[in-house]
Every structure is written in C-alpha cells, then in structure tokens.
Amino acid sequence: MPSHDVLIIGAGLAGQRAALAAAQAGASVAIISKVHPVRSHSVAAAGGINAAVSVDDDWRSHAYDTVKGSDFLGDQDAIEVMCSEAPKEVLHLEHIGVTFHRNDSGQLDLRAFGGASVKRTAYVADITGQAILHVLYEQLMKHHETVDRYEEWFVTSLIKDDSGACVGVVARDIRTGRMETFAAKSTILASGGAGQAFKPTTNGLICTGDGIAQAYEIGAPLMDMEMIQYHPTTLVENGFLITEGARGEGAHLLNGDGERFMEKYAPNKMELASRDVVSRAEQTEINEGRGAGPNKEGIYLDITVVPKKRTLEALREIVNIGKDFAGVDITEEPILIRPGQHYIMGGVKTDVDGQAPGIPGLYAAGRGRLRLRARRQPPRRELAARHAHLRPPGRRARCGARPARRDARGR
Ligand SMILES: Cc1cc2nc3c(=O)[nH]c(=O)nc-3n(C[C@H](O)[C@H](O)[C@H](O)COP(=O)(O)OP(=O)(O)OC[C@H]3O[C@@H](n4cnc5c(N)ncnc54)[C@H](O)[C@@H]3O)c2cc1C
C-alpha cells in the first residue's frame, strides 16, 4: 500500500502548488488526479490573478475591495492572509517561470478586473491558468524523488480510522481498473468545484464536486454551499466564458436598445462593478424585455471599442472562442452573452489553515474550500468599524450608513 506524509487529491493550481510547498518542506508527497494534471480545470483560468504588486497599490486596499465585494460576508481572516501574501506569491510564480505580461517599460503589467479599485490583475494574455499550471508541473518534476504522481487515478472515497482521523483514500487506476488504498498522515482535498450541477456553467465536465461529496460522506461539515458566483459574460450558446479581461480592456455591455445600461446600476464602476452586480443588472435587463439577440435572451458584449491590436495581443483566446463557438469576429462586431454559473465559494468547512474541524488529517484547498462565514458574521455596521484599518486612506465607510440613492455599496 503506497504511504506518504502528504496525499493531495487534485492536480489543478491548488493541488500542484500545495505539492510543491510540501515537497520543499521535505515531506514525501503523492498527488492523485483523475485527469492528466495539465488538463485540470485550472487550465481554463483566463484573465489573471489579483495581487497588490504595484507600487501604487497596497494589500490592505486589495483586502478592503475583497471584503466589500463579498458584501461583508467573506471570511476576513482568510482574506487578510490571501491579500497580504498574494504579491509575494505572484513574484514567486514569475521567478519560477510564469511569463506574466510586462509593459513597454518592463514592469509587470496589470489589468483592471471587476470590483478592484485599481488595476491589480497580473496576467499571461488570456491563458493565465494554463501558463501557471505548466510551470508548476515542470517545477514538481525537480522533486520526482519525493513526489509520486498518480495521473488518471480516480479517488472514490476517503478513509477514516477508529479515532475519526482521515488516514488516506481509496482510488481506482482508470486505465486498468485496479483499486488501491493510499495511506497518508495528511490528506489535502484540492479536487475543484461542482459547476456541473448548474446550467449554464463555465465549468468543464470534470467539475463534479467529488471531493466535497466524499468529505461530506465521512462527516466533514460543508458550509456556504448556497454561495454561487455567476459570471456576467458567458456565451449564450453554451456557457463558454468570455474573460473579465475583455471588460478590463474596456469592452462595453449593451442591451437590445443599444444602451450602456450599467450606468443605471453602477454608475462609478460601470462594466467593472463586481460580478454579482453586473450579472444581476444583465438579468434584470433581460427579464424586463430589453435583452439583445433574436429572442432577447442575451446582452451584447462590445469588444470592438478596444483597439484591435490590443485585442489580438491580450484577448487572443476569446478571439478564437468567438469565431469557433459563436461565429463572431469580436474585433468587428459585438458578441451575445448572458450570466452563467462560474464559481462555488462554499465547500468543506475549514479553518484559515485549511484544516477541517473535527477530522484530524483532513485539509482542503482551492475551490470547494470554505471561503465564507456568512452566518457567523456580525452586523455590517460593526464589521465596517472593525475593519476601518483596512480602508485605504481617505476612503469613507460605505457599509454602515447606506446612501439613499443609487447603489448602496457605492458601485
Ligand atoms: C473558464 C474559467 C476561467 C477562469 N478564469 C479565472 C481567472 O482569470 N482568474 C482566477 O483567479 N480564477 C479563474 N477561474 C477560476 C479558477 O480557474 C479556479 O478557481 C481554480 O483553477 C480552481 O483550481 P483547483 O486546483 O481548486 O481546481 P481544478 O483546477 O478544477 O482541479 C481539480 C483537480 O482535482 C482532480 N479531481 C477531482 N475529482 C477527483 C477525483 N475523484 N479523483 C481524483 N482527482 C480528482 C482533477 O483531476 C483536477 O486535477 C476561472 C474558471 C473558469 C472555469
């Protein structure tokens, strides 16, 4: 029976990054994936990764935007860790080989993303996930003596011992059908989301929530499973994602009457309001009969306002997606989109270190891991006061006292 210090279920960005850290710490590691690692769904991540790396930015501003973007429901301890460590992590990724885009003066280029108060998204064209995934895969090869890979192995269940600790998994080698038991001191679930439970979804067929279900089966509590993110721009035909990078580069959203309707819903941020705000605005336009397309079932995303040279450089994948899946040249005409399920914020309940309470030896990382503690959060006014120190200098609290008009969150 294979036995390791650390057993990681999933070889997407979360699983491979965890494997690299565990290997560097000297642990013996096994990483199991039902698909070849670089086909993990992280390969679809397009637009980029947020981190306050600019000299004009501050991780506290990133944290504030994230807390605000979550409508003050986000796990603020986790947000603090994520935002304060993100700049170091992005630079680390670059140092190990991720070719983040640089501007003409040689600095890391950053693009605008929804809900961010400054340009904060580091990117590799619109293939950021693929670029990072390949670099991590390559880096893990350096640790081949201590990292065993089980590629195209399907984990069917987690194992608990008599004391209630998670001590490994049962998995099937997909190619041969052979079943095997794997023992481990620590098991990390990094098995992704459950997008296939929804339609339309931007998620591929492999996103079936296996890890969430398997953890639940051995008694791990789940949390915030109702917290589902809808992305504003997915192809009407099939739910394919058109990256937020398109709006970050300046694309407009138009209803069937040709109006830039975000002016009504988020006059300051317009198309770059947070995803829930833009998705809701689109759906309101559609529901009220102002949709675009033959059956008024969508909204136009107009990328023609972005300079063509820039579109071909920074959004090349969606140029292909437009042509191949909607028959539209996005540099010449608007493309029909609608909101689609994109991200599951809930999952296995963990503490800020990823440990599942009550089940020693079980950890969760990445998607499918708890990010919200909605029900335990104190009221908005109290939270606003408690996190006043996270607010960038000169910015007024907006969550306690709601302005009477417009968007209550100032978007
Ligand atoms: C189209 C699209 C675009 C996106 N763009 C961005 C972006 O620009 N920026 C951003 O930050 N995020 C983006 N995201 C979100 C981001 O891609 C995900 O949050 C992230 O990649 C999830 O990584 P993960 O490692 O948790 O899961 P995944 O990459 O989904 O990996 C899951 C792993 O678990 C394995 N697995 C699952 N079940 C089993 C099982 N039973 N047995 C064995 N192995 C199993 C799979 O084989 C896989 O290796 C995007 C998502 C989509 C869908």
User: For ligand 1, is residue 317 a contact (CB within 6 Å)?
Assistant: no
**Is 274 near ligand 1, meaning CB less than 6 Å away?**
no
What is the per-residue pLDDT for 32? 98
State the distance from the centre of ligand 1 to the C-alpha of 313, rounded, in angstroms. 25
Q: Which of 60, 247, 275, 367 is catalytic?
A: 275
Which residues are registered as beta bridge partners of 4? 184
Structural domains in the chain, CATH included, are: 3-226+344-374 (3.50.50.60), 230-342 (3.90.700.10)
* Distance from Cα 212 to the centre of ligand 1, integer Å: 13
**Pocket lining: 214 vs ligand 1, CB cutoff 6 Å:** no
The confidence score (pLDDT) of residue 114 equals 87
Q: Are 322 and 286 in contact (CB under 8 A)?
A: no
Which of 17, 43, 191, 342, when mutated, tests ligand 1's pocket best, judged by the most ligand atoms within 8 Å of its CB?
Answer: 191
Q: Is the CB of 41 under 6 A from ligand 1?
A: yes
Among the atoms of ligand 1, which is closest to the Cα of residue 208? 38
Q: What is the pLDDT along the chain (411 residues), one digit of tens a residue?
A: 999 999 999 999 999 999 999 999 999 999 999 999 999 999 999 889 999 999 999 999 999 999 999 999 999 999 999 999 999 999 999 999 999 999 999 999 999 888 899 999 999 998 999 999 999 999 999 999 999 999 999 999 999 999 999 999 999 999 999 999 999 999 999 999 999 999 999 999 999 999 999 999 999 999 999 999 999 999 998 899 999 999 999 999 999 999 999 999 999 999 999 999 999 999 999 999 999 999 999 999 999 999 999 999 989 989 999 999 999 999 999 999 999 999 999 999 999 999 999 999 999 987 544 333 333 344 445 544 544 544 444 444 333 333 333 333 333
What single-letter amino acid sits at 340? G
Tokens standing for residue 8: 């990681």
Select from 38, 39, 40, 208 the residue to mutate for testing ligand 1; criterion: most ligand atoms less than 8 Å from CB.
40
- The finding on whether 129 has its CB within 6 A of some atom of ligand 1 is yes
Token look-up 């989109």 returns 337
> Counting beta carbons within 10 angstroms of the beta carbon of residue 324, is it exposed (0 to 12), middle (13 to 18) or buried (19 or more)?
exposed
* Segment holding 331, helix H or strand E: none
Task: State if residue 192 touches ligand 1 by the CB under 6 angstroms criterion.
Answer: yes
DSSP string over 213-236 = HHHHHTTPPEE-TT-EEEEEEEET
d(CA 123, CA 101): 6
Helix, strand or coil for residue 309? helix
Ligand 1 centroid, distance to 9 Cα (angstroms): 12
User: How confident is the model at residue 408, as a pLDDT?
Assistant: 32
| Closest C-alpha among 288, 318, 273 to residue 114 | 273
CA-proximal residue: ligand 1, atom 18 (nearest): 42
How far apart CA 108 and CA 95 sit, in angstroms, is 12
Q: Write down the pLDDT at residue 85.
A: 97
Active site residue 275: yes
35 lines ligand 1 (CB under 6 A): yes
Cα–Cα–Cα angle for 364, 62, 383, nearest 5°? 80
C-alpha 316 chain-centroid distance: 21
Å from CA of 271 to ligand 1 middle:
25
Q: Given this model, what pLDDT does residue 196 score?
A: 95
The answer, yes or no, to whether any atom of ligand 1 lies below 6 A from the CB of 34, is yes
Compute how many other C-beta atoms are within 10 angstroms of the C-beta atom of residue 201. Answer: 24
Q: Whose CA is nearest to atom 50 of ligand 1?
A: 45
- What are 7's strand-pairing partners? 30, 187
**If you measure from the C-alpha of residue 192 to the centroid of ligand 1, how many angstroms do you get, rounded to a whole number?**
5
